[in-house]
C-alpha cells in the first residue's frame, strides 16, 4: 500500500512543487490550500504525514497541528511544519503544538525528502 502524504500550503508554486516531489518519491499525495481544507483532508484521507505550512488562511498551521493532536483518530499523524517563520520562538511554538519536525523555507528538496523518510520510519506517536 502506498503511503499517503498531505501537502497543506496556500502558495500555489510551493504546493505544486511539493506535490510533484512527493509523488516522484512514490507517495500518494493529497493537497490542501488552507487550514480548514487541511483538517477536512486529514479526517477524510488519514495520511501518515502532513507537510504543513504555518501561515495559511482559515486556520494557521499551528491551529491545524493543535487540532490534529487533540483528535484521537489523527494523533498518530506525523507533522512536518514547513514555513518561512524560522525564528527560535516560531520553531519552539511549532514543536510545542505537537509538530514532529520543523523546516524553514527556502529548503533543500533532498533534505526535505530525507526528513520525510526519517519521520515515516520513526515509531508512531503515542497518545
- Which whole number is the average pLDDT over 52-68? 94
* Most confidently predicted of 19-33, 68-82, 88-102: 19-33
Kindly indicate the confidence band of residue 91, based on its pLDDT and cuts at 50, 70 and 90.
Answer: confident
Predicted pLDDT at 86: 67
Name which residue leads in pLDDT, 24 or 97.
Answer: 24
Residues 1-53: tens digit of each pLDDT: 689 999 999 999 999 999 999 999 999 999 999 999 999 999 999 999 999 99
Q: What is the DSSP letter of 3?
A: P
Number of helical (H) and strand (E) elements in the chain, helices listed first = 5, 5
Torsion angle, alpha carbons of 59, 105, 23, 49, to 10? -50
Query: HEC string of 35-66?
Result: HHHHHHHHHHHCCCEEEEECCCCCCCHHHHHH
Amino acid at each position: 500500500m502506498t503511503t499517503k502524504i498531505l501537502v497543506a500550503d496556500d502558495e500555489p508554486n510551493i504546493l505544486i512543487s511539493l506535490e510533484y516531489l512527493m509523488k516522484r518519491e512514490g507517495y500518494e499525495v493529497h493537497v490542501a490550500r488552507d487550514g480548514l481544507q487541511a483538517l477536512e483532508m486529514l479526517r477524510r484521507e488519514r495520511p501518515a504525514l502532513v507537510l504543513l505550512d504555518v501561515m495559511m488562511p482559515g486556520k494557521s498551521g499551528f491551529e491545524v497541528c493543535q487540532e490534529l493532536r487533540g483528535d484521537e483518530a489523527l494523533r498518530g499523524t506525523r507533522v512536518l511544519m514547513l514555513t518561512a517563520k524560522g525564528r527560535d520562538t516560531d520553531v519552539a511554538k511549532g514543536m510545542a503544538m505537537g509538530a514532529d519536525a520543523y523546516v524553514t523555507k527556502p529548503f533543500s528538496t533532498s533534505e526535505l525528502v530525507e526528513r520525510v523518510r526519517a519521520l515515516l520510519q520513526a515509531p508512531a506517536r503515542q497518545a
